[in-house]
A and B are shown apart, each in its own frame.
Chain A
Amino acid sequence: MPIKTEPFAINFGPFHPSTHGVFRMRTTLDGEVIIDLEPVFGYLHRGIEKLAEGRTYTQNIPFTDRLDYLASMSNNLAYVLAVEKLAGVPVPERAEYLRVIMAELQRIASHLIAVGSLLNDCGAFMTPILYMIREREKILDLFEMVSGQRLTYNYMRIGGVSQDIPDEFLPALEKFVERMPSYIDEYDRLLAENEILLARLKGVGILSKGQAINISASGPVLRGSGVEWDIRKVDPYSVYDRFEFDIPTGTLGDSYDRYRVRIEEMRQSLRIIEQAMKQLPSGAVKTDVPWLMLPPRGEAYAHIESPKGELGFYIVSDNSAKPYRFHIRAPSLINLTALRDMSVGWKIADLIAIFGSIDICMGEVDR
C-alpha cells in the first residue's frame, strides 16, 4: 500500500536538461509519483506555416529543414513530394534513388540521437550519446559531401535533387554501410544486457494497440505498440516499392519496444541503402521546372515515413507563385497526445524515460 502525501505541482522545463529542447510539462506529483501532467507547447513556435505563405515554393524548402532539425532530409523529401503531387512534376529515376538513400541515412542519424538521448535521460552520464554522435558524424560527413551543410541540407528540389553526388560519395557510403552493422550490434548489446536499463524500460509507459491508433500515433511509437504500419510499405512513395525490407514491430508497447523498433529500423535502413546503391541508375538528377512555378489551383497531401513518424504536408495552391496554405502534419506533436496517459502513475524518472522513448523534436512540435 503506497503512502499518499500531499500533492504538489512542479514544472519540468522549458529549460530542463532532458526535455529535448524547450518543452514544458506541468506535473502534479504525489511524492515521486506523477498523478497529473499537462504538456505546454509553443516555446519554439516560429510561425513557419504563416511565413511559408509569403515565400515561393522553392524558397520554402529551407523552412522544412528547420522543422525536425534532426531529419532535415526527410522533411525536404516530404515537402517536395507534396509540391510535385500538386504540380505534377516528374522526377528522374536517379534522383528518386538518391532521395531514398538520403532519407534512409537520415533515419539512421535521427534514430542514433533518439536512442542516445534515451539512454542519457536514463542517467548514463553522456557516454552513450557521445558514441552515437560519433557514428552520426560519419553520416553528417556524407551529407556534407552532397549538400555542403552539416545540419540544414536544403538538398531536395522540386523535380529532383539540387546536385548530383560527387565521385567520392559512393565509396564512402559503401564503407559506412559495411561498418555500421557492427556498431549497431554494439549499441544493442549496451542496452539489451544491462539490467538497470531493462528494469527502467521494460513494462514502463505502456501504450496499447488501440490507444496508439486512437491517438493517431505514428512511426516507432505506433509500431512499438504492435501495429504494422509503415508508410514506406502501405503507401509507397518515391521508389520504396522496389526494395525489400521488414517492418519491425513491438509487442507490448512499452519504452523498451519503442527502443527495439528504432534499433531494428536502423538495420532495415542499411538494407535499403545497400539495395539502392546496387540499383542506382545514371542520368539526370533534376527535371527542369520553371524558376517561378505556378502550380494549378488545387490541394495536395503527401506523407512520408519520417524517423519520428508520419510527416505530411498539406498544400493548397491558388495558382500563384506562393502556397495559399501550407500545413505540416507533425508526427512529434501528435505522438505527444499519449504522453499523459503513458506517464500518469509512474515516477519522475520514468516520465523522463517515457518522454525520451517517444523521441520528439521541438522544432517539429511547435513549428
Chain B
Amino acid sequence: MTIALSGRKIAGKLQEQFPGSIVQSDESSLLVKSEHLLAIATFLKTTPGFDFDYLTSVTAVDYRDYFELVYHLISIEHNHSLVLKVRCHDRENPTVPSVVGVWRGADFQEREIYDLMGIKFEGHPNLKRIVLWEGFQGHPLRKEYKGIYK
C-alpha cells in the first residue's frame, strides 16, 4: 500500500531547509511558494528518506482567483507519496518554474497545461502548444472559456 505522507510533517522539515517557502500544509497536501518550487523539488528528489524519484502526474486547476498546480509525487524505493501544490495568482501572465529538469516526465504534461490552461513554465526546453494548433484563440480549460462550437 502506498503510504500517503502527511504534508504537515514534511512541511516542518522543509521549513528548516527553505525558510518561508511553505504557504500552507494539511494532512494530504503541501502548498509551496512558486519561487521555491524548483529547489524543493530537487530537495525532495535527492534527499535520502524522501527519494521522490517518480512524478506521477502534473495538472492545473483553475480556481477563478488563482491557478493551482498539483504535483503527485511517488517514491518507488519507499513506496510513499506526496501531493505538492503551487499557486499562481497572476491571471494575465501566469508563470511557474518548470520541473522538467528534475523529472523528465513533466515534459508533455507541462506542455499540455501550457496549451490548455495558458500557464507558462519557465525553463521548459520546448514550450509550445501540444494538442491544439498554433493560432488557436484562448485556453480551453480556463473557466472563462466558452468552448461551444459555433
Contacts and interface: CB of A to CB of B under 8 A. Distances in A.
Interface of A: 41-42, 45, 47, 49-50, 211, 213-217, 227, 229, 234-236, 299, 301, 303, 310, 312, 314, 316, 324-325, 327, 329, 333-334, 336-337, 366-367
B61 A316 contact: yes
B104 A235 contact: no
Secondary structure at the A interface, as helix, strand, loop or mixed, is: mixed
B55 A50 contact: no
Given A47-B147, A50-B140, A337-B104, A42 B57 contact: no
Nearest to A43: B131
B116 interface: yes
A227 B76 contact: yes
Contacts of A325: 59, 61-62
Given A235-B2, A334-B105, A337-B108, A42 B56 contact: no
B57 A213 contact: no
B115 to A, nearest CB: 8
Contact of B132 (A45, A229, A316): A45
Q: Which 7 A-B pairs have the closest CB atoms?
A: A216-B105, A42-B131, A235-B2, A45-B131, A329-B57, A327-B59, A215-B104
Given A50-B141, A301-B72, A312-B56, A234 B108 contact: no
Contact of A214 (B103, B130, B131): B103
Interface string B76-87: 100100010000
A366 B115 CA distance: 12
Interface in B62-106: 62, 70, 72, 76, 79, 83, 103-106
A47 B131 CA distance: 9
A299 to B, nearest CB: 8
Interface string B113-138: 00010000000000001111100000
Contacts of A234: 1-2, 79
Contacts of B132: 42, 45
A216 B76 contact: no
Nearest to A236: B1
Contact of B131 (A41, A215, A329): A41
B6 interface: no
A357 B107 CA distance: 21
Nearest to B79: A234
A42 B108 CA distance: 12
Given A50-B140, A301-B57, A334-B109, A42 B72 contact: no
Chain B: number of interface residues, binned into ranges: 20 to 34
A216 B56 contact: yes
A214 B53 contact: yes
Contacts of A217: 105
Contacts of B133: 42
17 contacts: A42-B129, A42-B132, A47-B147, A49-B116, A213-B76, A215-B105, A216-B103, A229-B76, A234-B1, A235-B79, A312-B57, A314-B59, A325-B62, A334-B105, A334-B109, A336-B108, A337-B108
Nearest to B133: A42
Contact of A213 (B1, B53, B112, B140): B53
Given A214-B53, A234-B1, A303-B56, 13 more contacts: A42-B129, A47-B140, A213-B54, A214-B105, A229-B76, A234-B2, A312-B57, A314-B59, A314-B70, A333-B112, A334-B109, A337-B105, A337-B108
B54 A314 contact: no
A215 B72 CA distance: 14
A312 B133 CA distance: 26
